[in-house]
Amino acid sequence: MKNFTKFENKTTAEKLIQQAMHYKENPWIDKAKGQGKRIGCIFLNPSMRTRASTQIAAQQLGMDAIVMNMDKEGWALEMRDGVVMNKGTIEHIKDAAAVLGTYFDILAIRAFPSLTNKQEDVEDFVFNQFIKYSGKPVISLESAIRHPLQSLADMVTIQENWNKEIKPKVVLTWAPHIKAIPHAVANSFSEWALGCGHDLTITHPEGYELDEAFTKGAKIELNQAKALEDADFVYVKNWSAFNDYGKIITTDHSWMLKEKHLKKSKNAKVMHCLPVRRNLELSDEILDGPRSLVTQQAKNRIYAAQAVISQILG
Protein backbone atom coordinates (compact mmCIF):
# COMPACT_ATOMS: atom_id res chain seq x y z
CA MET A 1 0.00 0.00 0.00
CA LYS A 2 1.53 3.30 -1.11
CA ASN A 3 -1.11 5.88 -0.18
CA PHE A 4 -4.21 5.58 1.99
CA THR A 5 -6.74 7.97 0.58
CA LYS A 6 -9.86 5.90 -0.17
CA PHE A 7 -11.48 2.47 -0.24
CA GLU A 8 -9.36 0.31 -2.55
CA ASN A 9 -10.99 -3.11 -2.56
CA LYS A 10 -12.66 -5.55 -0.23
CA THR A 11 -9.57 -7.67 0.35
CA THR A 12 -7.46 -4.72 1.43
CA ALA A 13 -10.28 -3.36 3.59
CA GLU A 14 -10.81 -6.67 5.36
CA LYS A 15 -7.10 -7.01 5.99
CA LEU A 16 -7.00 -3.53 7.52
CA ILE A 17 -10.06 -4.28 9.68
CA GLN A 18 -8.45 -7.47 10.99
CA GLN A 19 -5.17 -5.66 11.59
CA ALA A 20 -6.92 -2.86 13.49
CA MET A 21 -8.72 -5.35 15.71
CA HIS A 22 -5.44 -7.11 16.31
CA TYR A 23 -3.79 -3.86 17.40
CA LYS A 24 -6.70 -3.12 19.68
CA GLU A 25 -5.88 -6.33 21.53
CA ASN A 26 -2.12 -5.79 21.36
CA PRO A 27 -1.37 -2.08 20.96
CA TRP A 28 2.38 -2.37 21.46
CA ILE A 29 3.04 -5.62 19.59
CA ASP A 30 4.74 -3.81 16.71
CA LYS A 31 6.47 -1.12 18.70
CA ALA A 32 9.78 -1.79 16.97
CA LYS A 33 8.30 -1.66 13.47
CA GLY A 34 8.44 2.11 13.02
CA GLN A 35 11.65 2.83 14.85
CA GLY A 36 13.77 5.39 13.09
CA LYS A 37 10.79 6.38 10.96
CA ARG A 38 8.89 9.66 11.10
CA ILE A 39 5.36 10.66 10.23
CA GLY A 40 4.49 14.29 9.57
CA CYS A 41 0.90 15.20 10.41
CA ILE A 42 -0.02 18.25 8.34
CA PHE A 43 -3.21 20.04 9.24
CA LEU A 44 -4.59 22.64 6.86
CA ASN A 45 -7.73 22.50 9.04
CA PRO A 46 -8.24 22.00 12.77
CA SER A 47 -8.38 18.65 14.51
CA MET A 48 -8.33 17.15 17.99
CA ARG A 49 -9.43 13.51 17.73
CA THR A 50 -7.70 12.84 14.45
CA ARG A 51 -4.49 14.44 15.59
CA ALA A 52 -4.39 12.59 18.91
CA SER A 53 -5.37 9.20 17.48
CA THR A 54 -2.77 9.46 14.72
CA GLN A 55 -0.03 10.47 17.15
CA ILE A 56 -0.98 7.59 19.43
CA ALA A 57 -1.03 5.12 16.55
CA ALA A 58 2.42 6.26 15.46
CA GLN A 59 3.79 6.04 19.01
CA GLN A 60 2.48 2.50 19.34
CA LEU A 61 4.49 1.62 16.26
CA GLY A 62 7.60 3.25 17.71
CA MET A 63 7.54 6.15 15.24
CA ASP A 64 8.18 9.80 15.87
CA ALA A 65 5.22 11.98 14.94
CA ILE A 66 5.56 15.71 14.28
CA VAL A 67 2.44 17.83 13.98
CA MET A 68 2.28 20.94 11.80
CA ASN A 69 -0.84 23.07 12.11
CA MET A 70 -0.49 25.13 8.97
CA ASP A 71 -3.89 26.69 9.49
CA LYS A 72 -2.98 28.08 12.91
CA GLU A 73 0.61 28.86 12.29
CA GLY A 74 -0.19 31.31 9.54
CA TRP A 75 1.53 29.36 6.81
CA ALA A 76 -0.79 30.24 3.94
CA LEU A 77 0.03 27.98 1.00
CA GLU A 78 -0.27 28.95 -2.65
CA MET A 79 -1.95 26.22 -4.69
CA ARG A 80 -2.24 27.76 -8.16
CA ASP A 81 0.42 27.09 -10.76
CA GLY A 82 2.36 29.95 -12.27
CA VAL A 83 0.92 32.70 -10.13
CA VAL A 84 2.94 35.73 -9.05
CA MET A 85 2.99 35.37 -5.28
CA ASN A 86 2.64 39.01 -4.34
CA LYS A 87 -0.40 38.61 -2.11
CA GLY A 88 -1.11 36.70 1.12
CA THR A 89 0.33 33.27 0.38
CA ILE A 90 3.88 32.80 1.58
CA GLU A 91 4.90 29.41 0.22
CA HIS A 92 3.88 27.35 -2.78
CA ILE A 93 2.51 23.86 -2.19
CA LYS A 94 5.19 22.59 -4.61
CA ASP A 95 7.99 23.74 -2.36
CA ALA A 96 6.32 22.96 0.96
CA ALA A 97 5.39 19.43 -0.11
CA ALA A 98 8.82 18.76 -1.56
CA VAL A 99 10.51 19.79 1.69
CA LEU A 100 8.07 17.80 3.83
CA GLY A 101 8.82 14.85 1.60
CA THR A 102 12.48 15.06 2.56
CA TYR A 103 11.67 15.41 6.28
CA PHE A 104 9.24 12.53 6.73
CA ASP A 105 8.80 8.89 5.76
CA ILE A 106 5.02 9.21 5.70
CA LEU A 107 2.83 12.31 5.43
CA ALA A 108 -0.66 12.42 6.94
CA ILE A 109 -2.67 15.35 5.65
CA ARG A 110 -5.95 17.04 6.42
CA ALA A 111 -7.35 19.41 3.81
CA PHE A 112 -11.04 20.32 3.98
CA PRO A 113 -13.09 21.40 0.96
CA SER A 114 -13.82 25.03 0.23
CA LEU A 115 -17.52 24.16 -0.25
CA THR A 116 -17.49 27.01 -2.76
CA ASN A 117 -15.33 25.73 -5.63
CA LYS A 118 -17.08 22.47 -6.47
CA GLN A 119 -14.72 21.41 -9.22
CA GLU A 120 -11.57 21.84 -7.13
CA ASP A 121 -13.20 20.06 -4.22
CA VAL A 122 -14.42 17.12 -6.31
CA GLU A 123 -10.95 16.73 -7.81
CA ASP A 124 -9.54 16.81 -4.26
CA PHE A 125 -7.18 19.39 -5.63
CA VAL A 126 -5.30 20.50 -2.51
CA PHE A 127 -4.88 17.00 -1.22
CA ASN A 128 -3.63 15.69 -4.55
CA GLN A 129 -1.11 18.51 -4.80
CA PHE A 130 0.54 17.13 -1.65
CA ILE A 131 0.62 13.63 -3.12
CA LYS A 132 2.00 14.96 -6.39
CA TYR A 133 4.83 17.03 -4.95
CA SER A 134 5.88 15.24 -1.76
CA GLY A 135 7.02 11.98 -3.32
CA LYS A 136 6.19 10.11 -0.11
CA PRO A 137 3.29 7.89 1.01
CA VAL A 138 0.32 10.02 2.00
CA ILE A 139 -2.43 9.14 4.47
CA SER A 140 -5.67 11.10 4.34
CA LEU A 141 -6.71 12.62 7.64
CA GLU A 142 -9.79 13.85 5.77
CA SER A 143 -9.65 15.41 2.37
CA ALA A 144 -12.20 17.51 0.54
CA ILE A 145 -14.26 14.46 -0.36
CA ARG A 146 -13.20 11.50 1.79
CA HIS A 147 -12.39 10.57 5.38
CA PRO A 148 -11.18 7.00 5.01
CA LEU A 149 -9.61 6.58 8.48
CA GLN A 150 -12.98 7.41 9.99
CA SER A 151 -14.67 4.89 7.74
CA LEU A 152 -12.14 2.18 8.54
CA ALA A 153 -12.77 2.80 12.24
CA ASP A 154 -16.50 2.65 11.52
CA MET A 155 -16.18 -0.69 9.73
CA VAL A 156 -14.21 -2.06 12.68
CA THR A 157 -16.96 -0.84 15.02
CA ILE A 158 -19.69 -2.49 12.96
CA GLN A 159 -17.75 -5.73 12.89
CA GLU A 160 -17.26 -5.63 16.68
CA ASN A 161 -21.02 -5.24 17.15
CA TRP A 162 -22.23 -7.82 14.67
CA ASN A 163 -21.90 -11.55 14.98
CA LYS A 164 -24.36 -12.86 12.43
CA GLU A 165 -23.51 -14.54 9.16
CA ILE A 166 -25.68 -12.24 7.06
CA LYS A 167 -24.57 -8.67 6.49
CA PRO A 168 -26.30 -6.03 8.62
CA LYS A 169 -28.72 -3.40 7.37
CA VAL A 170 -26.87 -0.11 7.64
CA VAL A 171 -28.67 3.23 7.34
CA LEU A 172 -26.92 6.52 6.75
CA THR A 173 -29.27 9.30 7.78
CA TRP A 174 -28.83 13.01 7.25
CA ALA A 175 -29.19 15.14 10.40
CA PRO A 176 -29.78 18.87 10.87
CA HIS A 177 -26.91 21.30 11.52
CA ILE A 178 -26.49 25.06 11.60
CA LYS A 179 -23.36 25.13 9.48
CA ALA A 180 -22.48 24.00 5.99
CA ILE A 181 -20.65 20.72 6.58
CA PRO A 182 -18.42 18.80 4.14
CA HIS A 183 -19.49 15.53 2.49
CA ALA A 184 -16.30 13.64 3.31
CA VAL A 185 -17.58 11.47 6.18
CA ALA A 186 -20.83 10.62 4.40
CA ASN A 187 -19.07 9.89 1.10
CA SER A 188 -16.48 7.65 2.70
CA PHE A 189 -18.95 5.84 4.91
CA SER A 190 -21.03 5.02 1.86
CA GLU A 191 -17.97 3.97 -0.14
CA TRP A 192 -16.70 1.67 2.62
CA ALA A 193 -20.05 0.23 3.70
CA LEU A 194 -20.87 -0.67 0.10
CA GLY A 195 -17.35 -1.91 -0.56
CA CYS A 196 -17.48 -4.14 2.49
CA GLY A 197 -20.75 -5.63 1.25
CA HIS A 198 -23.13 -4.10 3.78
CA ASP A 199 -26.76 -3.51 2.85
CA LEU A 200 -26.75 0.31 2.79
CA THR A 201 -29.72 2.66 2.75
CA ILE A 202 -29.19 6.41 2.61
CA THR A 203 -31.92 8.78 3.70
CA HIS A 204 -32.03 12.58 3.58
CA PRO A 205 -34.36 15.45 2.76
CA GLU A 206 -34.80 16.17 -0.91
CA GLY A 207 -31.93 18.23 -2.28
CA TYR A 208 -29.29 16.56 -0.13
CA GLU A 209 -28.36 13.88 -2.67
CA LEU A 210 -24.71 12.91 -2.30
CA ASP A 211 -22.30 12.54 -5.21
CA GLU A 212 -23.28 9.32 -6.97
CA ALA A 213 -19.63 8.44 -7.34
CA PHE A 214 -19.80 7.35 -3.70
CA THR A 215 -23.36 6.07 -3.34
CA LYS A 216 -23.78 3.84 -6.38
CA GLY A 217 -25.29 0.60 -5.12
CA ALA A 218 -26.92 2.12 -2.04
CA LYS A 219 -30.68 2.29 -1.69
CA ILE A 220 -31.79 5.94 -1.56
CA GLU A 221 -34.97 6.37 0.48
CA LEU A 222 -36.18 9.90 1.16
CA ASN A 223 -38.69 8.75 3.77
CA GLN A 224 -36.60 8.55 6.93
CA ALA A 225 -39.10 6.39 8.86
CA LYS A 226 -39.16 3.84 6.08
CA ALA A 227 -35.39 3.89 5.72
CA LEU A 228 -34.88 3.21 9.44
CA GLU A 229 -37.15 0.13 9.57
CA ASP A 230 -35.23 -2.92 10.76
CA ALA A 231 -31.94 -1.05 10.72
CA ASP A 232 -29.06 -2.75 12.51
CA PHE A 233 -26.78 0.28 12.41
CA VAL A 234 -27.82 3.90 11.95
CA TYR A 235 -25.08 6.32 11.01
CA VAL A 236 -26.11 9.90 11.76
CA LYS A 237 -24.39 12.73 9.91
CA ASN A 238 -25.06 16.15 8.55
CA TRP A 239 -23.83 17.28 5.18
CA SER A 240 -24.52 20.30 3.01
CA ALA A 241 -26.08 20.03 -0.43
CA PHE A 242 -23.92 18.58 -3.20
CA ASN A 243 -25.97 19.62 -6.21
CA ASP A 244 -26.64 23.15 -4.98
CA TYR A 245 -23.08 23.02 -3.79
CA GLY A 246 -22.32 23.79 -0.16
CA LYS A 247 -25.78 25.16 0.56
CA ILE A 248 -28.00 24.55 3.60
CA ILE A 249 -31.41 23.70 2.12
CA THR A 250 -33.20 22.89 5.34
CA THR A 251 -32.48 22.43 9.03
CA ASP A 252 -35.72 20.48 9.57
CA HIS A 253 -35.52 19.39 13.20
CA SER A 254 -37.80 16.42 12.66
CA TRP A 255 -34.82 14.70 11.05
CA MET A 256 -32.92 14.62 14.35
CA LEU A 257 -32.79 11.01 15.47
CA LYS A 258 -34.72 10.21 18.67
CA GLU A 259 -35.77 6.96 20.28
CA LYS A 260 -39.21 7.29 18.74
CA HIS A 261 -37.67 7.02 15.28
CA LEU A 262 -36.25 3.63 16.18
CA LYS A 263 -39.39 1.86 17.33
CA LYS A 264 -39.22 -0.42 14.31
CA SER A 265 -35.54 -1.17 14.75
CA LYS A 266 -35.26 -2.32 18.32
CA ASN A 267 -31.66 -3.39 18.30
CA ALA A 268 -30.28 -0.69 16.09
CA LYS A 269 -26.94 0.72 17.16
CA VAL A 270 -26.33 4.39 16.50
CA MET A 271 -23.09 5.80 15.15
CA HIS A 272 -21.62 9.27 14.66
CA CYS A 273 -18.06 10.33 13.85
CA LEU A 274 -17.96 13.09 16.49
CA PRO A 275 -17.88 15.91 17.33
CA VAL A 276 -21.66 15.77 17.58
CA ARG A 277 -23.93 18.70 18.36
CA ARG A 278 -26.29 17.23 20.93
CA ASN A 279 -30.00 17.77 20.51
CA LEU A 280 -29.37 19.30 17.10
CA GLU A 281 -27.90 16.36 15.17
CA LEU A 282 -28.64 13.62 17.67
CA SER A 283 -30.67 13.49 20.89
CA ASP A 284 -29.26 13.10 24.39
CA GLU A 285 -31.47 10.07 24.95
CA ILE A 286 -29.72 8.16 22.19
CA LEU A 287 -26.20 9.41 22.87
CA ASP A 288 -26.48 8.58 26.56
CA GLY A 289 -28.29 5.30 26.01
CA PRO A 290 -27.20 1.76 25.17
CA ARG A 291 -27.53 2.18 21.40
CA SER A 292 -24.67 4.63 21.11
CA LEU A 293 -21.36 3.44 19.65
CA VAL A 294 -19.81 6.88 19.29
CA THR A 295 -17.08 6.52 21.93
CA GLN A 296 -16.17 3.09 20.62
CA GLN A 297 -15.86 4.53 17.10
CA ALA A 298 -13.57 7.26 18.39
CA LYS A 299 -11.39 4.77 20.21
CA ASN A 300 -11.16 2.66 17.06
CA ARG A 301 -9.66 5.64 15.24
CA ILE A 302 -6.39 4.78 17.00
CA TYR A 303 -6.30 1.22 15.71
CA ALA A 304 -7.49 2.16 12.25
CA ALA A 305 -4.59 4.60 11.96
CA GLN A 306 -2.20 2.07 13.43
CA ALA A 307 -3.25 -0.58 10.90
CA VAL A 308 -2.85 1.86 8.01
CA ILE A 309 0.54 3.17 9.08
CA SER A 310 1.71 -0.37 9.70
CA GLN A 311 0.64 -1.44 6.20
CA ILE A 312 2.47 1.50 4.65
CA LEU A 313 5.60 0.73 6.64
CA GLY A 314 5.31 -2.70 4.99
Residues in binding site for carbamoyl phosphate: 47-50, 75, 110, 147-150, 273-274, 301
Instruction: From residue 43, give the alpha-carbon distance in Å to each of 35, 93, 143.
Output: 23, 13, 10
Nearer to its own copies, 56 or 180 (CB): 56
Among 15, 22, 62, 64, binds its own copies (CB under 8 A): 64
Q: Is 292:263 a contact under the CB 8 Å cutoff? A: no
d(C-alpha 239, C-alpha 233), whole Å: 19
Q: Is 225:46 a contact under the CB 8 Å cutoff? A: no
d(C-alpha 38, C-alpha 58), whole Å: 9
Contact pattern from residue 176 through residue 215 relative to its own copies, giving x for each residue in contact according to CB under 8 A and a dash for the rest: --x-------------------------------------
Nearer to its own copies, 202 or 294 (CB): 294
N- to C-terminal Cα separation, the chain: 8
269 phi-psi bin (left φ>0, alpha ψ -120 to 50, beta other): beta
The verdict on 284 binding its own copies (CB under 8 A) reads yes
Residues 108-147 touching its own copies, rule: CB under 8 A, are none
E strand or H helix that includes residue 69: strand 64-69
d(C-alpha 212, C-alpha 180), whole Å: 20
CB of 97 to its own copies, least distance (A): 10
The verdict on 94 binding its own copies (CB under 8 A) reads yes
Stretch that binds its own copies, among 8-16, 65-73, 167-175, 220-228 (CB under 8 A): 65-73
Give the footprint of its own copies on this chain (CB under 8 A): 27-28, 36, 38, 40, 46-49, 52-53, 55-56, 59, 64, 66, 68-70, 72-75, 78, 81-86, 89-92, 94-96, 98-99, 102-103, 178, 274-280, 284, 287-288, 294-295, 298-299, 302
